[in-house]
Structure 1
C-alpha cells in the first residue's frame, strides 16, 4: 500500500520523510511505528496542541502542516533505497513544492537529503537554497533507529523550525 500525500493549499510546513517503513505502509499511516519520534516531536515543539496519532494524519492541514515522502517504496530500513530512487524522489518533491507552495519544506533525514539533492555537505537546519519557492530545512530522521538524535534534541530542532515559521508570518 502506498501512503497518501497529506497536502493542501496554504501549508506552513510540508514535512518530507525518506520512505515508508513496512508498518507505515501496511497501516497507510506516516511514521506509524510506535518508536518513531515524529509525532511526539511535532507536539512537544508546538506545531500541534496535542500529540496526534498516525491515524490522525489527515488533521495535519488544519494546523498548516502536510506530509509526504521522497520515495514511495516501503522498506525495512532507509538504506535499502538506491541513490537513483532518492534522486527521482528529490525531483518529485520539488514538483510537489512547486504545485502546493508551502512556506517551508522540511526533509527529515540528512543523509537521504544529501543523496536526493546532490548536497554532499548539507547539515541539519535551514538550507541556503530554496526548493521551488519554499524555504528548505533539513531535520534529523525521527526514526527510533536514529540513535544520534534523541527526543529532546528533535524537539529543539523542530521548535527552531516552528519559531522561524511563526516569525515569517
Structure 2
C-alpha cells in the first residue's frame, strides 16, 4: 500500500534524516541519487516524492517488469538493482548541500562500491558527480574511469525539477544503461 502523504510537520521533522540503502553484494546496478528529499526522509523510501521520475524511468527502460512504488523499493534487489545516495542527509533541495559534503559523499561512495562490488554504479545527477569526484567536464553516459571492477555511469537527475530531460528522454538514458548491462561489449 502506498505511503500516505506526509504532513507539513512530518516533512519539517525529516530535515537531515538519513535513509537506509537498498543494497546487497554483486548487484547489476547500484543507482546513486544526489541526496534524499524531505518526502523521502518522511516516508523512509527513496525517490518518494510524487513527480520524481526514477520509478517510471526504471520501468520504461526495461529494468523492472512493472512500475514499482517507492514503498516497494526492496523488490529492486530481486532484479539485481539497488539505491544509495552521494550525500545521505535529507534536504528540501540539493542546492542546500555544500561542496565538501559532496566530496565526502564521493569518498564514502567509493568505499561502499568497493565493499559491495556492483557491476555498475549509476550516479543520477551530473552536477553531483562532477563535484563529488572532481570531474568538472563529465558528461552523461559511461565514464572512462571505474571503481575497481565497477563501471561508472552518470545519468540525468530524475527529479521532476530537472526540466532538461522529458520523461521519455530520461527513460531512454536509463535504457541505454540497461542494454549495456544486459549485453556487455
Q: Give the TM bin, normalised by the shorter chain.
A: over 0.9
Q: CA deviation at 1:2?
A: 1.5
**DSSP-derived class of the 1:95 partner:** helix
For normalisation by structure 2, the TM-score amounts to 0.89
> Whole-Å Cα distance in 1 between the matches of residues 143 and 107 of structure 2?
17
Distance in 1, matches of 2:75 and 2:95, equals 30
Partner of 1:149: 165
The answer for the alignment partner of 1:121 in structure 2 is 137
* Runs of 4+ with >4 A deviation: none
Q: Matched residues in 2 for 1:132 and 1:83: separation?
A: 25
Deviations 1:78-113 (A, max 9, x none): 111000000000011101100010000000000010
Aligned residue number for residue 59 of structure 1:
75
Query: Secondary structure at the residue paired with 2:147?
Result: coil
- Gap runs ≥5 in structure 1: none
Structure 2, unpaired ranges of 5+: 1-16
Select 2:178's aligned residue among 147, 162, 166.
162
Aligned pairs for 1:107-118 within 5 A: 107-118=123-134
Q: Is the 1:9–1:100 Cα contact (8 Å) retained in structure 2?
A: yes
The number of residue pairs the alignment matches comes to: 169
Of 155, 173, 176 in structure 2, the residue corresponding to residue 139 of structure 1 is 155
Shift of 1:147: 0.4
Secondary structure of 1:107's aligned partner: strand
The residue that corresponds to 2:88 in the other structure is 72
Q: Under a length normalisation based on structure 1, what TM-score does the superposition of the two structures give?
A: 0.98
What is the RMSD computed on CA atoms of the aligned residues? 1.0
What is the aligned counterpart of 1:25 among 37, 41, 56? 41
Aligned to 1:94: 110
Higher Cα radius of gyration: 2
**CA separation in 2, counterparts of 1:129 and 1:59?**
30
Deviation at 1:116, TM superposition (A): 0.2
Q: Answer whether contact 1:19 1:73 (CA < 8 A) is retained.
A: yes
* Paired residue secondary structure (2:111): helix
For 1:108 and 1:150, locate their aligned partners in 2 and report how far apart those are by CA, in whole Å: 15
